Chains A and B, each alone.
Chain A
Amino acid sequence: MLASFFETGDLAPHGVCLLWRPELVWLHVVSDAATGLAYWSIPVALAVLVRRRRDIAFPWAFELFGLFILLCGATHFAAIWVLWFPDYEIEGVLKAMTALVSVATAIVVWPLLPRILALPSPHDLASANAALLQEVEERRATEAQLRTTQLELVETARRATIGTVCAGVAHEMSQPVNVISLWTERARNSGEAPPRVDRALSVVLEQTRRLGHLLDRVRLLSRQANGEGSIFDAVAATTAALEATDLPADAELSLLLPEQALPVRGSLQQFTEAVSHLLANARDAMAATAPRPPRLAVQVGSGPEPGTLAIELRDSGGGVPDALGQRIFEPFVTTKAPKAGSGLGLAIAASIAHSMGGRLDYRNLEDGSGPVGAAFRLVLPIAGPLVTPAP
């Protein structure tokens, strides 16, 4: 049966149908040859593509396409062959194989289409890449800022140590110098000393003055070593930071400030920065969540321990997610949308509180159904006893 199928003795070559008219024969030969060659070049290109690009999606689909086009090309070469040799069975089998692979490819291409469409385009990839690069750049910048802040804090601590040592030396030395100076001056003022003794007393006095100037310079060094560290009023500084912060226009602000000044020791600039970070944090938390209007309460008063003061900011920003907890004081931990916050503000505020001998803590404010806001509290040592101003 198979043998008789390939028995083609009584069939005429296809050229007979064309009556061997040379122009017709050559038109078919050249067209089929060109089409077949073109078809066969495409799978080669696909093969090179699949082999070189290891990351290509659906490589088997490319192989199927390659086979489909290879077979298409083969049918065109078979068409040339049968012009002279009537092997229509071989041509038919080739066409049948082409049909099989073509139909399979046509069936496969439809379910594949949505998956191919879902692949990110080179443009998508490029913009995602650009966004990533920008984020890396931003992180690098904020990391550099954090490092600078840390170095500043270390430097501040180092200079404070030098300042303390200088102040101590100046104080201890000034006591005996003071006694020498006072007694010598008193002896000289008595007017009882003979001229040689009076001259001696005057030399001693001059030298104690010189020592006095030297001590003045050591005191000055001590103050300089402490940097901008000075005593300032935390109440006034908090008020100033509040005035410098842009709060939402519809925000309801309540202020509870003591009547007397609350002195703290440290850098006024750093303190202001810490309070500003807390204010910005509260503002951003309230911008992100309902309900309106945002409510912010700022309270300055006695701290939880004797000799401390507390600056507390209570916001209506929904509170800190439990999952974050104390991690909010770590660098780069933020609940804000990307690019809305660096995640450094609270870390910097906490470092500043620490450098001033205090701390920063928080608690969530509950209304029975869950957290409605957060209360951030800056606890700092009061620099010396409190004074009630004279009436």
Chain B
Amino acid sequence: MNPLRVLMAEDEVLAAEVLEDALAEAGFAILSAEDGQAALELADGHGFDVLLTDLRMPRMDGRELIQRLRQRFPGLPVVVMTGYDPGAEEVALHAGGGPLRLLAKPLRLADVVAAVIDVAGARFRPGFAP
């Protein structure tokens, strides 16, 4: 069985480093980008199953990244890590359709892993290439 592929957008390099490490240890394949724009470019050439993203990032924020990726991959599972609570209704209003989980910082590694598995849910199957 292929590992669950996670596209991660996080501009805080120290947070990204430890998340990559922990998610890889949990058995996921990680594609890591330093902001929304980089994640969008990375999404072009690689398959992935779940988007794990920060909201406030330079160049392109998480909200726009979710919107653009969901236009291309309707129903894409998303986990949002945010340092500020914009309200679930706001993100949901912008996010289009699909499973979505909000995690407030500071994060617990176990919560991140559980949220990724949770949103991937039924959509995750070996070889799913959005």
Contact = CB atoms under 8 A, between A and B. Distances in A.
Interface of A: 167, 170-172, 174-175, 177-183, 185-186, 189, 208-209, 211-212, 215-216, 219, 222-223, 230-231, 233, 261, 263, 383-385, 387-391
B64 to A, nearest CB: 6
Given A185-B108, A186-B22, A178 B83 contact: yes
Interface stretch (B27-35, B40-48, B85-93): B85-93
B125 interface: no
B95 interface: yes
B69 to A, nearest CB: 11
B71 to A, nearest CB: 6
A167 B85 CA distance: 8
A383 B104 contact: no
B98 interface: yes
Interface residues of B, number: 33
A384 B94 contact: yes
B108 A387 contact: no
A269 to B, nearest CB: 16
Nearest first, the 6 closest Cβ-Cβ pairs linking A and B are A174-B83, A390-B74, A181-B106, A390-B97, A178-B105, A171-B84
Given A174-B106, A178-B12, A385 B85 contact: no
A177 B83 CA distance: 10
Q: Is the interface of A mostly helix, strand, loop or mixed?
A: helix
Interface of B: 12, 14-15, 18-19, 21-22, 56, 63-64, 67, 70-71, 74-75, 83-85, 87, 89-90, 93-98, 104-109
Contacts of B95: 387
A310 to B, nearest CB: 19
Name the residue among A170, A383, A390 with the largest chain B CB count within 10 angstroms.
Answer: A390
B105 A177 contact: yes
B87 A230 contact: yes
A263 B91 CA distance: 11
A174 B18 contact: no
Contacts of B98: 390
A185 B71 contact: no
A110 B87 CA distance: 84
A167 B63 CA distance: 17
B92 to A, nearest CB: 10
A292 B31 CA distance: 65
